Amino acid sequence: MSLKTNLRVIEETGVIAIVRFDRSEDLIQVARAIAGGGVKAIEFTMTTPNALEIIAAARREFGEEIILGAGTVLDAETARAAILAGAAFIVAPTLNRRVIEVCRRYSIVAIPGAYTPSEILSAWEWGADLVKVFPAEIGGPAYLKAVRAPLPQIKLVPVGGVTLENTPEFIRAGASAVAVGSNLVNKKLVAERRYDQLQELAAGFIRAVQAGRNP
């Protein structure tokens, strides 16, 4: 799918699932359960062992059924390797101009990390499609709303401390989407292979986004 299509899917569904584990087993089943709940953008962090192989395997498994991304990307070299493995979006915890440039070169959705208004504006001016506000638990929805007041043109994605309960608040504060880690990809559910409950949790986050958009 094209950059515009992938970006539209992320914004319309409003949720990015962050999959971060020490072991890589069962991640395909986890991705399938999350996708079954309506979350179509799934980020595999580069801190996961064999992350590139997992992205490639998931791309072969799902095709264009879901949008696969690479997270915790710290440099341009890692960004390019993830893109070649099949990543359709790149997420970074920090702001690195060369990572954004690689995404632009390959027409891949760029989601760099920033926190201060100056960092957020720089990310946007350098070509970010969405800006990851991290760590979002510091300041919460109120901080996001405050940043959006002078920078309403920038599409923000809060990461860190996002829960079912505060997702509607983040959306009402102006978030284009939320990115959720352990509060969605619950390690206990995964360890016990309760994929049906994982799917329902994903569906719950989709409903929470909708609640924020349609109060």
40 is catalytic: no
- Catalytic-role residue among 11, 25, 40, 43: 43
Give kind and range of the element (H or E) at residue 109.
Answer: strand 109-111
Contacts of the segment 142-148: beta carbons below 8 A, 24+ positions apart: 142/173, 144/170, 144/173, 144/174, 144/175, 145/173, 145/174, 147/117, 147/120, 148/173, 148/174
Residues in Cβ contact with 4 at an 8 Å cutoff, skipping those fewer than 6 apart: none
Q: Which residues in 50-95 belong to E strands, given as ranges?
A: 67-71, 89-91
Q: Reply yes or no on whether 43 is catalytic.
A: yes
Alpha carbons 5 and 146: distance in angstroms, whole number: 29
Q: Which of 40, 132, 155, 169 is catalytic?
A: 132
Give the C-alpha separation, 189 to 29, whole Å. Answer: 12
- The rounded distance, in Å, linking the Cα atoms of 171 and 40 is 18
Residues in Cβ contact with 183 at an 8 Å cutoff, skipping those fewer than 6 apart? 162, 163, 164
Residue identified by tokens 């799934």 is: 42
- Which residues belong to the active site? 43, 132
